[in-house]
Amino acid sequence: MAGKKVMLIMPTFWDVIAPSVGIVALRSFLQQFGHKVRTVNLNTERKLWHTQNKYFETLGKYVSCTSLIPRLGTELLGFHMNARVFKDDLPGEYSKYIETLLREHFQHFLNNIASGEMDAFIEDLDKVIDAHFEMLVEAIPALMSDSPEYVGCTALSSTLGTAMFLLKEIKERFPEVKTVLGGPGPYAGIGEGSENMTRLAEKCTFVDKIIFGEGELVFKKYIEEGHEGKKIISAKTFGMEPLVMDTLPHLDYSDLKMDGYFNIGIGASRGCPYMCSFCSEAKMWGSFRKMSTERIAEEIKAQKEKHGKDKFYFTDSLLNHSLTPLVRLMLEEDIRIKFDCYLRVDEHAQNSKMTDLWAEGGLSRVRLGMESAAPNVLKIMNKKITPEEQAKALRCLASSGIRTTTYWIAGHPHETESDFQETLEFIRENKDYLYELDLAVFYFYGDGEIGLSGFARDFGGVEERFGSEFRDLSVFKYYRLSELRPSRKEAFDRAIRFMESAKELGIPCNPSSVFDLMAAERRWEDLRGVKGCAK
* Cα–Cα distance measured from residue 255 to residue 232, given in angstroms and rounded to the nearest whole number: 29
Note the pLDDT of residue 452.
78
3-class DSSP state of 534 = coil
E-only strand ranges, 175-304: 178-183, 209-212, 232-233, 264-266, 269-270, 289-290
* Cα–Cα distance measured from residue 382 to residue 535, given in angstroms and rounded to the nearest whole number: 33
Query: How many C-beta neighbours within 10 Å does residue 239 have?
Result: 6
pLDDT tens digits, one per residue of 380-430: 999 999 999 999 999 999 999 999 999 999 999 999 999 999 999 999 999
Note the pLDDT of residue 259.
87
For the cut 50, the answer to whether the pLDDT of residue 16 exceeds it is: yes
pLDDT tens digits, one per residue of 115-155: 889 999 999 999 999 999 999 999 999 999 999 999 999 99
* Cα–Cα distance measured from residue 196 to residue 186, given in angstroms and rounded to the nearest whole number: 10
**Is the bond leading into 486 cis (omega within 30 degrees of zero)?**
yes
Residue by residue, what is the 3-state secondary structure of 386-443?
CHHHHHHHHHHHHHCCCEEEEEEEECCCCCCHHHHHHHHHHHHHCHHHCCEEEEEECC
Q: What is the dihedral of CA 99, 101, 102, 108, to 10 degrees?
A: 120
Query: How many C-beta neighbours within 10 Å does residue 254 have?
Result: 12
3-class DSSP state of 17 = coil
What whole-number percentage of the chain has pLDDT above 70?
94
For residues 366-394, one letter each, b for 16 or more C-beta atoms within 10 angstroms of the residue's C-beta and e for the rest, the string is: bbbbbbbbbeebbebbebebebebbbbbb
User: What mean pLDDT do residues 65-84 have?
Assistant: 92
Note the pLDDT of residue 448.
62
Note the pLDDT of residue 446.
74
The pairing of strands 150-154 and 264-266 is unpaired
Could you tell me which residues come within 8 angstroms of residue 365 by beta carbon, excluding any fewer than 6 positions away?
A: 340, 341, 402, 403, 404, 405, 435
What pTM was estimated for this model as a whole? 0.93
* Cα–Cα distance measured from residue 440 to residue 374, given in angstroms and rounded to the nearest whole number: 16
For the cut 60, the answer to whether the pLDDT of residue 291 exceeds it is: yes
Note the pLDDT of residue 533.
44
User: What mean pLDDT do residues 233-253 have?
Assistant: 94
Closest CA to 179 of 136, 149, 202: 149
Lowest mean pLDDT of 14-28, 208-222, 439-453, 488-502, name the range. Answer: 439-453
Q: Is 434 left (phi over 0), alpha (psi -120 to 50) or beta?
A: beta
For the cut 90, the answer to whether the pLDDT of residue 455 exceeds it is: no
Note the pLDDT of residue 535.
43
Decide if 200 contacts 174 (C-beta within 8 A): no
Lowest mean pLDDT of 155-159, 190-194, 369-373, name the range. Answer: 190-194
Decide if 474 contacts 466 (C-beta within 8 A): yes
User: What mean pLDDT do residues 465-490 have?
Assistant: 92
Closest CA to 63 of 437, 427, 510, 519: 510
E-only strand ranges, 139-247: 150-154, 178-183, 209-212, 232-233
Predicted confidence band at 534 (pLDDT cuts at 50, 70, 90)? Answer: very low
Q: Which residues pair with 290 in a beta bridge?
A: 269
User: What mean pLDDT do residues 155-175 have?
Assistant: 97
Backbone angles phi, psi at 255, to 5 degrees: -105, 15
For the cut 80, the answer to whether the pLDDT of residue 202 exceeds it is: yes
The CA-to-CA distance between both ends of the chain, in Å, stands at 59
